[in-house]
Every structure is written in structure tokens, then in C-alpha cells.
Structure 1
């Protein structure tokens, strides 16, 4: 009889919203929203810009005043609080006002699956005939973040004969598809360092510039938005690097100058852990976070001027 009553009570709890069952362990306490957010940290886009159709038109007359309108799309996974879009002209007889607009855009997440979009408008005035053609040049600058999160195997018994089965196998990692940012972590090579009884790891992390633009400091991205930033500028000082392995931070050195080299578009971060005391193979979380500014590649529009 007691068993029947217990079964009836369990069925009643399931049917009534006022009843709750006890927690079934650690996984049941995880925030489902956080797991959902990680799904959108993919791709190699940051902010994408394009001219709206016929804004500006392909042909304008002398003394015309027209509108140039950009669609600005944050297609990556970082919210932008302070971005800038710039429109320039190569003709002294053509004036653009304002030359810079500011925007705020949220990145991809569960409520904005494709990222937020907006439009930015400029006024273009043609005061004289000048050249028969003029070119408008647009680009955007913005601060951004790349975050790669995964787990690696740490095996202090590597190269040793062991009787027990290992919990995991230590091997290199590859990240395909990017992390929802124009700068991507592409792979991590794991090299064991054995010195007597001392066991350490060296992590060789490859970084790639996938967005077609330039990596700059966050200050340039949010203030000057300068297209004239030298490609040979010290990129290492422009990128804030943070590497976390479980609850510790290894010692790291950045070699990122190649990110702005069109022949390479690659850079490297070399990290060395402290002495690892664990005795058996186990998995550990690794988080690579990069904070930087980014200047998109130029977007051009050719316009014919007639009398």
C-alpha cells in the first residue's frame, strides 16, 4: 500500500507545477542560457558594412546633394559599445558630412541569432565638376574580443609504461570555423617538458587574422579610427592576451606582428606552465582571450559626375 501511495505522489508532483523534484546532480544546475550562448561564438566575421542600393547612386550632377547610406552589421559574437564608420572622398570638389558616424551594436546571441544591424547615413555634396569620376571610401573601426574555450588533456605519465587505463590522451587541438571574431585561434600544439621529476607543458597557440582588415589598438578603434595605421606597427602591444589553464595562468609571450602581414596573416603565442604536480592523466579547461581593435578593409564606390 505504501508503495502504491509513493507512486501516486510522484505522478502528482510531475503533473503539478507547484512540486519540484530534487536535483539530479551537477549537470542539472548548469545555466542552459550559457550553453546556448556558446553556440553563437562561431565564424570569422566581425562588423560587416555595405552601401544600400542606389545610396549613393552611380551618377550625380554638378551641385547635387545626395545620401550615402551604409548597412552596418555586427556579425560576430562581441557587443560593441563604441564603434565608428568613416566615409572619405578622393575629390576636393566632393564634400562628405559628417566624415565619421558612431554606432552601438550587439553581437550574436540567443536573442540576436545573426547579430544586430543598423544604418548610418552621410550627406555627399558635389560643388564642382572636378574629375568626371570620384570614389567614395568607407571603412569601420571597432573594439572586439576573441575567446576560444575548450579542454585539453594533461598527462604527466606520457612516455611511461602504466598499468591503469588513462582518462584521456594528450594531443594537439584544432579550432575550425573561428570564434565569432575576425581574429581566430586556429590551433594549440601541446609539448611536454620533462626535467627529472619536474613536468611542465609548453603551449604553442596559432592566431590568424581572418577578417581581411588590420589589428590595431582598442584606442585607435574607438577614437581616431585611422586608416593610415602602419602595417609594421607593433601588433603585440595592440592585443591584450589572456591564457587560462584550469585555475592558473601560464607565462606567455606574444609574436603577433604577422597578423597584419598579408602574406601571412598569422601570429603565435607561446606559453609555459609552472610545474604540474598531478600524477595521472586528466582533462583541464583552456580559455584563450584576445582583446584588440579592428579596422575593416576598405569598401569603395565609384560615382560618375556629369554637368
Structure 2
């Protein structure tokens, strides 16, 4: 009788554990996230000063610590990002080694410049990497006449980034409905929101242009917007790095800003479409936060193919730069 009771207890215990596992969803593990959630949002690298570092006020000859968080909130991994520190000479100087490096993500170039690597969001890491920028500085007032001076601190990042957008497009080789048949889809404008990057593809317009050889060439008008807090730079690592220097603004520097390189593919074809922006092949100029490109395939689509849906893949490559700034009031100690 005792053995029967013991067996019953074991069965009851197993059933209870099974029910508990079902209620809690089984073994714990990383939360599931979809591609749609990864490619969502309008941030790339974000920066923010840590409260109290630097302090709002400091006395002459006082040592202070500058802290700022950097996080990749987008869906693209940053390799060889570039950072420049700007402090007001005569009122602030670097102390000790200046940068206190996070060696997993940062590498010193000069006393005021470093490179950084930060992975973006992914299915394995839905948050993206973060690093802390830590700088030792010394407050100083060299102006004999000043008793208080607001000293400016600036941190500027310049880094390569990419936007990927996908949409199902309706291709209609009989857009004037000359042939009486049922159509699988209808041509219409497509509106998009964000793709996990500061530059977003926001609209795709489609037009069909019949050709004399009984083919149709689709034209795609692709609109993109700068939804981030910075500006774009020409997609070139050397140009991106130089954009973070303090060299004076010239016409040559003007030509590198507000540029985006576009590559688009129709269906599963590896042959990119011909895209024309503001006069330069595959390069778009952003004006007032927006830019457009007209993309077409190299060859027409035979009219007998009728109406069908096919994917359009868009890739935007660019550099991106942004700056955060704060002030520290430097006070002279009364003698």
C-alpha cells in the first residue's frame, strides 16, 4: 500500500511540473524578435551626456570628468566610426590620458580623436551595442579679466551607415487595360515609415512606360527622408573620417554633405536598376531633409507577362554625422 501511494505521489508531482512549465512558457531564454522590429526606428548612433559629468559649474584648476553614452540603436553594424572631441582652449584642457578607453569598442587616434565599433540591432541582439565615452579634463581660466566663463564641450561622430527597404510592387504591362483580363494587382503608391536607420525610404511611386518593341519599362520614384538628428556625408570612409576634422568649410566640403548612394533591385535579379538622382548616377542629394531618385531596369518587361507582384529591394549607403554639446561655467577662485 505504501508503494502505491509513493507511485501516486510521483505521478502527481510530474503532472504538476508539466502544468507549471506550460503556464510559464517552458524554459527561459532570449525574447523572440522579428525582422520587422529590427528594421524599425529612425536612430543610428545616439549620444547623450551623463547627468553631472561634466558638472554645470567648475572652479579654476578643478579636475572634472566628462561622460557620454553612445549606443547603436539602428540595424546596421558600425565599423570604423570616428569621434572628435571639441573643448574650448584657454578654459579647459585634457588631464592625464584624456580618453579613458573602452578597449572593446574604442581606439585612440589622437588626444581628441578616436575610432569606435558598435554593432546594431539583430535577431541575436535586439538592443544593439552601447559604450561609455569617458574623458578627464581640467578647468582653467587664462583670461585675467574673466571671473566666470561658459566653456563649450562638443562631441561629434562621423560613421558609415546603411538603410535597407523592401516592398512588394505591382507590375502591370497593360496599364491602359487594352486587354480584357483579370489583374492580379493594382498599381498604387506605397508609403513606408522607417527601416532602423536615420535615413528612411518613405514613398515609392510606380509608373509604366510602354515601348515600341512591345515591352514596358517600369519607373520607380523613390523618396527618402533624413529622420535623424544629423546630416549625411558621401559614402566614402576617408571622406567620413575627414568630415570630423575642424578644417574650415570649403566648396569641396560642401560637395560631400547631404549625399546618399542608392542601389535598387527588382525581383531576385542581381543586376541593379539604373537610378538617377540630382544629376549624378546612383547618388542622391538631400535638400530640406528629402531626396528622390528615379530607378528603371536596363531592359523592358514583355507585355505578355501581364500583371504580377514582385519585390523591390532598396539599399541606401551614406555617412552620417551629428554633434552633442554642453556648457560648463568655469569660475575663478577669489583671491
- Please tell me the TM-score bracket, short chain as reference: 0.7 to 0.9
Match of 2:164 in 1: 147
Structure 2 Cα separation of the partners of residues 293 and 303 of structure 1? 30
Please state if 1:168 is matched with 2:194: no
Match of 1:42 in 2: 40
Displacement of 1:181 in angstroms is 0.8
Displacement of 1:224 in angstroms is 5.1
Partner-residue secondary structure (3-state), 1:157: coil
Structure 1 Cα separation of the partners of residues 308 and 90 of structure 2? 65
1:292-303 correspondence runs (5 A): 292-296=318-322, 298-303=323-328
Query: Which residue of 161, 165, 181 corresponds with 2:197?
Result: 181
Cα distance per residue 1:30-72 (max 9 Å; x no partner): xxxxx93343111111110001111111111111221111100
Please state if 1:95 is matched with 2:119: no
Match of 2:52 in 1: 54
Match of 1:202 in 2: 219
1:56-75 correspondence runs (5 A): 56-75=54-73
Partner-residue secondary structure (3-state), 1:233: helix
Match of 2:305 in 1: 279
Structure 2 Cα separation of the partners of residues 230 and 174 of structure 1? 37
Displacement of 1:128 in angstroms is 2.7
Residues 81 and 121 of structure 1: CA distance in aligned 2, closer, same or farther (over 3 Å): same
Match of 1:156 in 2: 173
Deviates more, 1:60-69 or 1:158-167: 158-167
Match of 1:212 in 2: 229
Structure 1 unaligned segments of length 5 or more: list them: 1-34
1:252-267 correspondence runs (5 A): 252-255=275-278, 258-259=285-286, 261=287, 264-267=288-291
TM-score normalised by L of structure 2: 0.73
Partner-residue secondary structure (3-state), 1:39: helix
Structure 2 Cα separation of the partners of residues 237 and 56 of structure 1? 32
Please state if 1:270 is matched with 2:311: no
Residues 38 and 222 of structure 1: CA distance in aligned 2, closer, same or farther (over 3 Å): farther
Displacement of 1:165 in angstroms is 1.9
Structure 2 Cα separation of the partners of residues 302 and 237 of structure 1? 28
CA contact (8 A) 2:276 2:294 kept: yes
Match of 1:105 in 2: 118
Displacement of 1:237 in angstroms is 9.5
Aligned residues: 268
Structure 2 Cα separation of the partners of residues 53 and 237 of structure 1? 32
Structure 1 Cα separation of the partners of residues 74 and 137 of structure 2? 30
Match of 1:191 in 2: 207
Match of 1:243 in 2: 264
Structure 2 Cα separation of the partners of residues 143 and 258 of structure 1? 17
Match of 1:12 in 2: none
Structure 2 Cα separation of the partners of residues 90 and 122 of structure 1? 14
Partner-residue secondary structure (3-state), 2:93: strand
Residues 103 and 42 of structure 1: CA distance in aligned 2, closer, same or farther (over 3 Å): same
Cα distance per residue 1:144-178 (max 9 Å; x no partner): 001101210101011124443211112121112x1
CA contact (8 A) 2:263 2:273 kept: no
Structure 2 Cα separation of the partners of residues 70 and 42 of structure 1? 25
Greater Cα radius of gyration, structure 1 or 2:
2
Displacement of 1:230 in angstroms is 6.1
Deviates more, 1:135-144 or 1:272-281: 272-281
